[in-house]
Amino acid sequence: MLVKIFLILFFLTSEFFPQTRVDSLEYLGRFFNQNFLNNIFDKQLNTFHLINQFQLVKNYDDLIIRLNENFNSTFIRSVSKNTRDEQTLNLSAKYRLNKKFFIGINGNSSLLSDNRSLGINESAVNNASFFSDWEAMPYLRLNPFFGYSSNRQIGITDNGFLYGLEGMINNLSVSDMIINSDLRFKNEDVLPRRNLIRYFALSVNNFFEKGIANNIRTFYSQSRKDFYFEADPVTAAEFIINKNIQSRTETSYQISDRLSYDDFLDFFSLDLVGGINWRNIDRDIRYKTAELQTNSLYDTKIDEIKLEFATLVRYNSKIFNGSIRLNYDERDEKHSVKRFSNISDQLYEQKTELEEQKNNNSSRVTLALNGDLKISQDDFLNISLYQSKLVYDTKSILNDDDRDEILSIIRLRYLRNINSYFNVFINTEYTFAHTVYIFASRSSNNKKNRILRLRTGGDYTGKNFSSYNSFEVSANYTVYDFEDITTSYQSYSFRQFTAFDSTTVYLTEKFKLYSFAYLKLSEVGDFSWNSFSTKPTRTLKEIYFEPRFILNYLRSNFSIGLRLFLLDTYSYKLAEKQLESEYISLGPIAAIDFYVWNRINFMVKGYYEFITNTNRPDKEQVSLIMQVNWKF
C-alpha cells in the first residue's frame, strides 16, 4: 500500500517544489488540522485576480495524509498584457509502524510564470522524498529524509538528490529549567547548483520562584541559494557558458535574554530584555574574468551586527492600567569586495570604494507610554505617547546621507457610555517629525512635519436602528528649514475634512436597509509657517454613497442597491477656484452571501458602472468578486 501511495505522490509532484522558511520545520513543524477549500475571483478595473486555497487532512487508523495547495494568478489588461501565476503544493503521507515510529513520503512543488522580462520570470522546483518520524524519547523527535529534486530556472533544468535531518526537543525539564530546541539540516544538490539550509534554535526557561522567570534564546541559521543569470559575452567566451551562477549565502547568529518579574512591588511587573544579532551575506559569482576591466561581476560581503536592549514596566489596578517601554538598538553595517585572481589594483580599489559608500551605522532610542484610566463606570480615557530619535551615520566621505530624525506622537481618546444603546467618543492626535541632514549638500532636505487630527463621533445600537457616525478634521504641515535660500523645495499644507456614516434600518425581522457613505474635502496649498497662512493650489471633493436593501433568508444574505462615487478636482488660477475635472461613477450593486448546508459558503459581489469623466468619452465597466469557502 505504501509503495502505491508513493508512486502516486511521486508522479503528482514530479513538477513541483517546496518553499519553506529557514526557521520553520518542514517535516516536524506545526500542521493544519482543518479541511477547507477557498476560491476567490476578483476583477477590479483592468486587473483580474484568481486565488485558490485547499487544505485536506485524513486519518485512516495508522495512515495520515495531508494536502496543501495555494494558487495565485494575476492578469493586468493594459497596452502590454501582463500575466503572473504562482502555485505551491505539498502532499505527504506517513504510516505508523508502532507508537514511536512513522515512515512516510513527501512531495512538494512551487511554480512561477511571469510574462514580463524580469531577472527570474519562470521557475519550477519539484521534489519527492522518503522520511521517518522517530520519537526517540518522550521529549525528543528525529526526522531523517532522503529524496530527489528537479529544479528549473530560466529554461535550465538541474536534477539531484536532497537529504537532511530535522529534530525537535519539546519541553524537556531539567531541574528548574524547561528546554525547547529545533534543528534543521538540508542539502539540495542540483548540480552545478547547491541550495543549503542550516538552522538551530535553543530556548531555556528558568523559573527561580513565583513571579520570577528568565528566558535565554539563541539560534544559528544559514541559507544558500544559487541563481542563474545571463552571462556577458566576454565571460561566456572564456568559460564556454551561456548562463552564469550567483550564490547568495546568509548566515545569522543571535542570543537574547529576557528577565521577568510578574509581581514587582505588588502593582508592577517588569521585563528586562537584551540581545545581540550578527549576520553576514555573501554574494559570489561562479565565473569571473579579469579580461573585463569594467567588470560588474565581483563578489561582495555584508557584515552586520545589531544590539538591542529593552525595559518594559506594567502597572495594573482597578482604575488604571499602564505601561512604559524603553528601547535602545544599535546597528552597524559594513560592505566589502572580495578580491579574485588577476583583477587589477585599480579596478579592485574602484569597486571597494563603491561598496564602502553603503557602509552605515545607526542607533535608535524609543520611549512608549500607554495608559487606560477608568474615570467612572461610564467614562474612560486612553493616553499614549511615543518618542523616537534616530541617528544615522555613514563612514564614506563620498556619502552625504548622515542625518538625525526625531518623531513624537501623542494620542488622547475619551469614551463615554451614555446608556446601553449609545456611546460617544473624542480622539485627538498630534505628530511631530524633524529630519536634519548633517552635510550641507543635503541640508535642503531638512524639514519639519506636523500633523494634527481631531475626530469625534458616536455609535448607536437599537432594536430597529443602528448607526455609526464620525467626523474628522486633519491638518498636515510640512516646512523646509532652508526654503528661503532654495527654490527646489517649497513648504506645503494638506488639510482634510471627513464625514463617515454607516446606518442600518431593520424594516422587518429578515429585511433591512443598509447605507454606507462618506464625504472628503481636501485642500493642498503652499504654506508659510511664519505667518501661518496657506495659498491653496488644489482642492478635491470626494463623495461615496451606497444604499442597499438586504434580505436574510435561511442564514443567507441577498442584497441589491446603488453605488455612487464622485470626485471633483479644482485648481486655482489668479486666486480663483476653477473646476478642473469631474469624475462620476453611478450604477447598480448586488451581493449574495449564500450558505449551502452548514459547510459551504458562496459569495458574489459585483457592480456595474456608468462612468463620466471630463474630457474623456463616457464608458461602462464591470467589477466582480466571487468567493467559495468549503469546510469539510
Task: Give 325-375 as a 3 state SS string.
Answer: EEEEEEEEEEEEEECCCCCCHHHHHHHHHHHHCCCEEEEEEEEEEEEEEEC
Give me the residues paired with residue 122 across strands: 113
pLDDT (0 to 100) of residue 17 = 34
Which 8-state DSSP code applies to residue 446? -
Q: Kind and range of the H or E element at 12?
A: helix 2-12
Q: Reply yes or no on whether the pLDDT at 546 is more than 80.
A: yes
Q: Give yes or no for a contact between 286 and 244, defined as CB atoms under 8 angstroms apart.
A: yes
For 449-459, how does the pLDDT look when each residue is reduced to its tens digit (9 = 90+)? 999 999 999 99
pTM: predicted TM-score of the whole model, two decimal places:
0.84
Q: Reply yes or no on whether the pLDDT at 134 is more than 60.
A: yes
Q: Reply yes or no on whether the pLDDT at 6 is more than 60.
A: no
Average pLDDT, the chain: 90
For 176-211, how does the pLDDT look when each residue is reduced to its tens digit (9 = 90+)? 899 999 999 999 999 999 999 999 999 999 988 778
CA distance 250 to 380: 49
CA distance 333 to 350: 20
Share of the chain above pLDDT 90, in %: 71
CA distance 258 to 14: 46
Q: Kind and range of the H or E element at 496?
A: strand 492-506
Domain ranges of the chain: 501-632
CA distance 411 to 432: 12
Q: Judge if the upstream peptide bond of residue 192 is cis by omega within 30 degrees of 0.
A: yes
Q: Reply yes or no on whether the pLDDT at 486 is more than 70.
A: no
> Which grid cell is 33?
488540522
Q: Smallest Cα–Cα separation from 186: which of 173, 177, 196?
A: 196
Across residues 364-383, what is the average pLDDT? Answer: 96
CB atoms within 10 A of CB 240: 8
Q: Give yes or no for a contact between 171 and 204, defined as CB atoms under 8 angstroms apart.
A: no
Give the torsion sign (CA, 132, 136, 138, 140). Answer: negative
Q: Reply yes or no on whether the pLDDT at 483 is more than 90.
A: no
Which residue spans within 115-237 are E strands per DSSP? 122-137, 140-153, 156-174, 177-189, 195-209, 212-230
pLDDT (0 to 100) of residue 22 = 67
Q: Which of 93-107, 176-190, 257-271, 492-506 has the lowest mean pLDDT?
A: 257-271
Residue with cell 503528482: 12
Share of the chain above pLDDT 70, in %: 94
Give me the residues paired with residue 497 across strands: 473, 521
Amino acid identity of residue 256, one-letter, is S
For 92-127, how does the pLDDT look when each residue is reduced to its tens digit (9 = 90+)? 999 999 999 999 999 999 998 888 766 667 889 999
For 217-244, how does the pLDDT look when each residue is reduced to its tens digit (9 = 90+)? 999 999 999 999 989 899 999 999 999 9
CA distance 406 to 433: 5
- Sequence-ordered list of residues with C-beta below 8 angstroms from that of 6, at least 6 positions apart, any chain: 93, 105, 128, 130
To 5 degrees, how large is the angle CA 303–CA 305–CA 311? 165
pLDDT (0 to 100) of residue 473 = 98
Q: Reply yes or no on whether the pLDDT at 591 is more than 60.
A: yes
How sure is the predictor about 19, in pLDDT bands with cuts at 50, 70 and 90? very low
φ, ψ dihedrals at 346, nearest 5°: -65, -45
Q: Give yes or no for a contact between 282 and 301, defined as CB atoms under 8 angstroms apart.
A: yes
409-414's contacts with Cβ under 8 Å and 24+ in sequence apart are 409/384, 409/385, 410/383, 410/384, 410/385, 410/386, 411/382, 411/383, 411/384, 411/385, 412/381, 412/382, 412/383, 413/381, 413/382, 413/383, 414/379, 414/380, 414/381
